[in-house]
Amino acid sequence: MSAPPLVEVEGLSRSYGDRLALDGVSFGVAEGELFALLGPNGGGKTTLFKLLSTLLPPSSGTFRVDGLSPARDLRGLRRRLGVVFQSPSLDRKLTVLENLLVHGAVLGLGGAPLRARAGALLERMDVADRAGDRVETLSGGLARRVEIAKALLHAPRVLLLDEPSTGLDPLARRSLRALLRELAGGGTTVLLTTHLFDEAEEAGRIGLLDRGRLVALGTPAELKRDVGGEVLVLATESDEEAVRLAAAVAAALDARAEAPAPSRRVVRLGAAVRIESPEAAALVPSLAASFAGRFRSLTLGAPSLEDVFVDRTGHSFDGDAASAPSAAGTAA
Amino acid sequence: MRAAYALARREVVRFLRQPSRIVGAFAPPLLAWLLLGAGFGASFRAPGGASYLGWFFPGTVVLVVLFAAIFSTISVIEDRREGFLQAVVVSPASPLSVAAGKIAGGTLLALAQGGVLLALAPLLGFAPSAAALAPALIVLALVALALTGLGLAIAWMLESTQGFHAVMNLVLIPMWFLSGSFFPAEGAPAWLRAAMAANPLTYGVASLRRALDPAAAAGPSATFSVVVTLAFALGAALAAAAVIARFPAGPDRPARPSRRKQP
């Protein structure tokens, strides 16, 4: 018997005029989970973030945090949410501590308890030594930490972050990830959006968003296991060469004795041909022999999250439609 | 209340930490006052025989207040789209305390800037009597409240600062030109007089002029002017509060329309 998830999203949709930016998305996030919404730009993650942060009302569907929905108890819901926006919401002209104190006052806190809480959070975020400095003098990584401290002032149950690593250098990214894992480990549910595969890789669970729809949901390992087998990538010099090579490879595989396996796919993505197959490794010698000189490199690997994305959507992450030259492929 | 106070205080702290805003608020009106005053001085005969510079002074103070209100409300647009206000909007704070904080902060700044100019009056060659100062400041506070409320009500629903500039040039600046700050209604064509009579700011300027120089008796009656100014101030503040309470997240549009490729 498991308790209902802390965050329950049910058929959430949002349109802007005629354009449906988010289309009936449903999922749940358990308490203490680190959950990543992964998708390309325009995939709907920012819209979903805006709905969950209560910045925008949904067109249809609803969501609950700790059982509270925006329609029933908006203020109660907001008390349970800490929100970190992609564009900084710190006042650059105020000092780090002033920012926390003003926001605390906005939340209805004040006096000694607020000062103590702000001090403790700055300590925890490792920015206490900059408390008296104006935010405009902080690096991007430090400012993001202050931003998180600010979002945690009222001890929310859920911390929502929109592309939190945007604009950070690799070192700051790494320490931010460690911090988020630590928060989740401490019981704060962390829900973030990202377009970075390696960032999503570290999440406990991932929701894959594409064109406004949730196309996959699960742990990174589960999602990759679903793709199955291995992935063979033949890199060529140009898109045209890749198109020709993909057709030739698909024909060659179709012509082999065994019938086209439903799990086998040949797709072209840009200047590369990708072959997903349970026995991709066994194809290497024959492909290398038959098509020598027609590709620049041949890579065999376990499926990545990018492969999961291609598998589920039929197009590449940066928007290129995959073309499938054979019946075994997927129509784009 | 705590939220409103903190937000108002933030407005003031921000202002003091941005020297360019201080210059921006004072320089243009003072420049206008000096150049226009010098240029018109020779040919202009103010009601009551005052010098043009002296007659133009209350209007200049109101212009400083107008500029101050514009500067403090225009920041709302950037703040809400991608800044400080985003976090306020999604916080459990009531939109009304947000409105109260923005209005109080903006009004205080506008009043202080107008007040500084009033305090400089002796340096500029006028010495309003000590008795005139209190009524003048009260009128100024009402005008500051009115213009801040009006600016905020407009800025809250705009998506870009460019939009605000358009409103400023089409509405706020003409409102000042037609307020009896710049030229008196007497002698203006009938249609212009009608526009000036319909402009609520006219009564603020008239009240301020009368407070500073009780001899300047021209224009609408004293009581009527004060009543209209009070109504303008309360009306504008309520309008701003209503807009913020009704649309806490501002204009409801996507910030970044996506440019998706079609499959």
Q: Does B254 touch chain A (CB under 8 A)?
A: yes
SS3 letters across A105-152: HHCCCCHHHHHHHHHHHHHHCCCHHHCCCEHHHCCHHHHHHHHHHHHC
Could you give the percent of chain A with pLDDT greater than 70?
93
Q: Please give the mean pLDDT across all residues of chain A.
A: 87
Does position B141 have pLDDT exceeding 90, yes or no? yes
Helix (H) or strand (E) holding B80: helix B52-82
Does position A319 have pLDDT exceeding 70, yes or no? no
What chain A residue is nearest to B252 in terms of C-alpha separation? Answer: A56
pLDDT of residue B48: 63
Q: Which residue has the higher pLDDT, A68 or B222?
A: A68
pLDDT of residue A327: 38
Distance from CA of B19 to the nearest CA of A (A): 12
| Phi-psi category of residue A9: left, alpha or beta, with phi > 0 → left and psi -120 to 50 → alpha | beta
CATH fold of A7-221 reads Rossmann fold (3.40.50)
- Residue range B33-62, pLDDT digits in tens: 788 777 777 777 666 666 777 888 889 899
Does position B257 have pLDDT exceeding 70, yes or no? no
Q: Check B90 against A53: CB less than 8 A apart.
A: yes
Distance from CA of A149 to the nearest CA of B (A): 13
Residue/partner pairs of B216-224 with CB below 8 Å, 24 or more apart: B216/B47, B216/B48, B216/B50, B216/B55, B217/B48, B218/B47, B218/B48, B218/B184, B218/B186, B219/B180, B219/B184, B219/B185
DSSP B117-186: HHHHGGGGT----HHHHHHHHHHHHHHHHHHHHHHHHHHHT-S-HHHHHHHIIIIIHHHHHTTTSSS-ST
Could you give the percent of chain A with pLDDT greater than 90?
51
pLDDT of residue B222: 86
- Neighbour tally for B187: CB within 10 Å: 10
- Residue range B169-202, pLDDT digits in tens: 899 999 999 998 888 888 889 999 999 999 999 9
Q: Which residues in chain A touch residue B5, judged by CB atoms under 8 angstroms apart?
A: 105
* Per-window interface: B 7-36 vs A, CB < 8 A: 7, 9-10, 13-14, 17-18
Does position A10 have pLDDT exceeding 70, yes or no? yes
Distance from CA of B261 to the nearest CA of A (A): 6
pLDDT of residue B215: 73
pLDDT-derived band at B259, boundaries 50, 70, 90: very low
pLDDT-derived band at B256, boundaries 50, 70, 90: very low
Does position A196 have pLDDT exceeding 60, yes or no? yes
Q: A36: which DSSP letter?
A: E
Question: Whole-angstrom Cα distance, residue A193 to residue A29?
Answer: 14
Question: Whole-angstrom Cα distance, residue B105 to residue A173?
Answer: 37
> Which residues in chain A are classed under CATH 3.40.50.300?
7-221
pLDDT of residue B203: 95
pLDDT of residue A1: 47
What chain B residue is nearest to A44 in terms of C-alpha separation? Answer: B258
Which CATH architecture is the domain A225-313 placed in?
A: 2-Layer Sandwich (3.30)
Q: Check B86 against A85: CB less than 8 A apart.
A: yes
Helix (H) or strand (E) holding A214: strand A213-218
| Phi-psi category of residue A69: left, alpha or beta, with phi > 0 → left and psi -120 to 50 → alpha | beta
Does position A157 have pLDDT exceeding 90, yes or no? yes
- Neighbour tally for A151: CB within 10 Å: 23
Does position A225 have pLDDT exceeding 80, yes or no? yes
- Residue range B69-108, pLDDT digits in tens: 988 888 888 787 778 888 898 998 888 888 999 999 999 9
> Average pLDDT, stretch A55-82?
92
pLDDT of residue A262: 62
Of A79, A85, A102, the CB nearest to B6: A102
pLDDT-derived band at A332, boundaries 50, 70, 90: very low
Of B17, B86, B98, the CB nearest to A89: B86
pLDDT of residue A320: 59
> Which residues in chain A are classed under CATH 3.30.70?
225-313
Q: Check A321 against B261: CB less than 8 A apart.
A: yes
pLDDT of residue B243: 92
Domain residue limits, chain B:
2-246
- Residue range B237-248, pLDDT digits in tens: 999 999 998 888
Closest residue by Cα to residue A96 from A141, A130, A139:
A130
Helix (H) or strand (E) holding B85: helix B84-89
In terms of Cβ atoms closer than 10 Å to its own Cβ (0-12, 13-18, 19+), residue B182 is middle
- Residue range A235-273, pLDDT digits in tens: 998 888 898 998 888 888 887 755 556 667 788 888 888
